[in-house]
Chains A and B, each alone.
Chain A
Amino acid sequence: MAGREGRSIPRHPLWVRLTHWISTGAFLALVVSGFAILLALPRLFWGETGANAAPAWIVLPLPVNLEQTGWGRNLHFLAAWIFVLNGALYLLLALVSGHLLRRLAPDGDQLRPRHVAADIRAHLHLKGPGVASRYNVLQKLAYLGVILVLGPVMLLSGLTMSPGVTAAYPELFTLFGGRQSARTIHFLAAALFVGFLLIHIWQVLANGPLDLMRGMITGRAARAKSGPIQAREDVR
């Protein structure tokens, strides 16, 4: 179908599209099942120990429900395997293909303070990118932050809650400052992850959602965006 469309250009290679949607499905399953597990102890602690009867750092305004961990844990770990293996494949391909450096790493000019400030202003004024030949710098930093920081923090803090993994790697307790600290960081990182997802979806909706969705599904998209177009100094 893309081939018949004379005015479309390649946007995302197949491996990006596949790993994008697999991680989308796995992430939604992780959020739903993680929430179910959280309900058994909707309190957050620092250090090694914590319980419903123990003093907490934060008591989340959620009902305690002990009956949801069975399916919650099953789905969480199945989805975690898919998310982690898929994420590792993505990272490998992104490194090997040069995708990470070419498309996600900010270019030299994008890191100049003046450019960053202009980009922040454009975001605050909700100005769309218009016809962009590359991701803007805040977008790139958000992607890199999720891929290189938030993802690994989620994985490692999750593994710090595993009595089996920590028997092999007790250093994980040192890294996060204890099992309950790891659980708290796992929750905070998940909240940031959900925040990223909400902004990501909002940005898609605000900048020509049909064409962007087409690009991430078929791999090809029209050159011009259907959203509001702002001429930008960095457009080439």
Chain B
Amino acid sequence: MSDLTRRRLVLGSSALGLGGVLGSALGSCELIENGGPRRSGLYGLSDTLTLATQRFLLRDQPLVREFGPEAISAVFPTINTTDPDDPAYRRSKAAGFSDWRLPVSGLVERPAAFTLAELRAMPARTQVTLHACEQGWSAIGGWTGVPLSHVLASVGLKREARFIVIRSVDGWWDTYDLFDALHPQTILAYGMNGGDLPVAHGAPVRLRVERQLGYKSLKYLASIEATDRVDGLGQGRGSMVSELGFSWYAGI
């Protein structure tokens, strides 16, 4: 990990203060100070406690367990969108995703739009990990892709960038602070279990955020944007599922 990355991670973790915790439970808790996702009420309080505690436990950026290929599950459920009906997506799928592009924009020095071939040409990482869904099921899958940190480094992440906004073809969107976005196991996966990523699992490229529940690992990636704050997006809660009442941070 580069010094820049390390410094950002340290800054990222220290920015999580007890401020949110001490903030009035009747008001709104800022899960991460200065522009992070917000949540009001008692659940904002418990979410902030959980995030602050887990960031402390994970301060040395450990990796999650990785298994051998023999551990890969026979049953790996697919939920929510399993085949987007977006017309552009359908055309792209018919063309083998040869015309697919992943724009990376926002607070970066050199905005770019990567093809699938360009992502495949980048340094790859394969990880066989346990996927845990908030519904209670879990399955082991093997994922191959390029670390998000590499993609962000290749476009030159600006110093003021603190969050990564990721959008999906099916309208899902989520945000990640650099603590998770730059983690070595946070990858843009184009392969699963040794083959291409199946459509039901998010082809051509999905995100893997291994230290959080499955709903943070968005499928069908459409765009990546670096930003300095996320409180202006949507309702300011940091993600689409947060607006449905789920926690922005899904480390538990």
- Distance between Cα atoms of A198 and B20 in the complex (Å): 38
The 8 Å CB contact of B212, one of A164, A169, A179, is A164
- In the complex, which residue of chain A has the Cβ closest to the Cβ of B43? A74
Chain B interface, >50% SS class: loop
The 8 Å CB contact of B75, one of A38, A51, A69, A173, is A51
- Looking at chain A, what size class is its interface with the partner chain? 35 or more
Of residues 107 through 140 on chain B, the ones whose CB sits less than 8 Å from some CB of chain A are 130, 132, 134-140
B229 at the interface (CB under 8 A from A): no
A53 contacts B75, C-beta separation under 8 Å = yes
In the assembled complex, how far is the CB of residue B213 from the closest CB belonging to chain A, in whole angstroms?
Answer: 6
- Distance between Cα atoms of A165 and B132 in the complex (Å): 13
The 8 Å CB contact of B245, one of A53, A74, A77, is A74
Instruction: Kindly count the residue-residue contacts between A and B in the assembled complex, taking CB atoms under 8 Å apart.
Output: 110
**Residues A73 and B246 in contact in the complex (CB < 8 Å), given A51-B77, A78-B46, A167-B63:** yes
- Distance between Cα atoms of A159 and B213 in the complex (Å): 13
B24 at the interface (CB under 8 A from A): no
> What residues of B have a CB within 8 angstroms of the CB of A66 in the complex?
135
In the assembled complex, how far is the CB of residue A106 from the closest CB belonging to chain B, in whole angstroms?
Answer: 36
> What residues of B have a CB within 8 angstroms of the CB of A180 in the complex?
138
- In the complex, which residue of chain A has the Cβ closest to the Cβ of B47? A77
A150 at the interface (CB under 8 A from B): no
B140 contacts A77, C-beta separation under 8 Å = no
**Residues A51 and B58 in contact in the complex (CB < 8 Å), given A73-B247, A74-B245, A81-B49:** no
B136 contacts A78, C-beta separation under 8 Å = no
A97 at the interface (CB under 8 A from B): no
A41 at the interface (CB under 8 A from B): yes
Of residues 9 through 45 on chain A, the ones whose CB sits less than 8 Å from some CB of chain B are 37-38, 40-41
B136 contacts A163, C-beta separation under 8 Å = no
A51 contacts B137, C-beta separation under 8 Å = yes
Of residues 64 through 96 on chain B, the ones whose CB sits less than 8 Å from some CB of chain A are 64-65, 71, 73-77
B42 at the interface (CB under 8 A from A): yes
B212 contacts A49, C-beta separation under 8 Å = no
- Distance between Cα atoms of A162 and B62 in the complex (Å): 14
A168 at the interface (CB under 8 A from B): yes
B77 contacts A52, C-beta separation under 8 Å = yes
B212 contacts A163, C-beta separation under 8 Å = yes
**Residues A54 and B75 in contact in the complex (CB < 8 Å), given A70-B245, A163-B132, A164-B54:** yes
A166 at the interface (CB under 8 A from B): yes
In the assembled complex, how far is the CB of residue B192 from the closest CB belonging to chain A, in whole angstroms?
Answer: 16
B137 contacts A41, C-beta separation under 8 Å = yes
Name the residue in A37, A81, A163 with the highest tally of chain B Cβ atoms < 10 Å from its Cβ.
A163
In the assembled complex, how far is the CB of residue A82 from the closest CB belonging to chain B, in whole angstroms?
Answer: 8
**Residues A49 and B138 in contact in the complex (CB < 8 Å), given A54-B75, A166-B64:** yes
A74 contacts B49, C-beta separation under 8 Å = no
A87 at the interface (CB under 8 A from B): no
Of residues 160 through 202 on chain B, the ones whose CB sits less than 8 Å from some CB of chain A are none
> What residues of A have a CB within 8 angstroms of the CB of B63 in the complex?
167
> What residues of A have a CB within 8 angstroms of the CB of B244 in the complex?
70
In the assembled complex, how far is the CB of residue A77 from the closest CB belonging to chain B, in whole angstroms?
Answer: 5
A202 at the interface (CB under 8 A from B): no
The 5 A-B residue pairs whose C-beta atoms are closest, nearest first, are A164-B251, A41-B136, A51-B137, A40-B135, A168-B57
**20 A-B residue pairings within 8 Å (CB atoms):** A40-B134, A40-B136, A41-B135, A41-B136, A49-B73, A52-B137, A54-B73, A73-B134, A74-B246, A78-B45, A78-B46, A162-B251, A163-B250, A163-B252, A166-B64, A166-B65, A167-B210, A168-B54, A179-B138, A180-B138
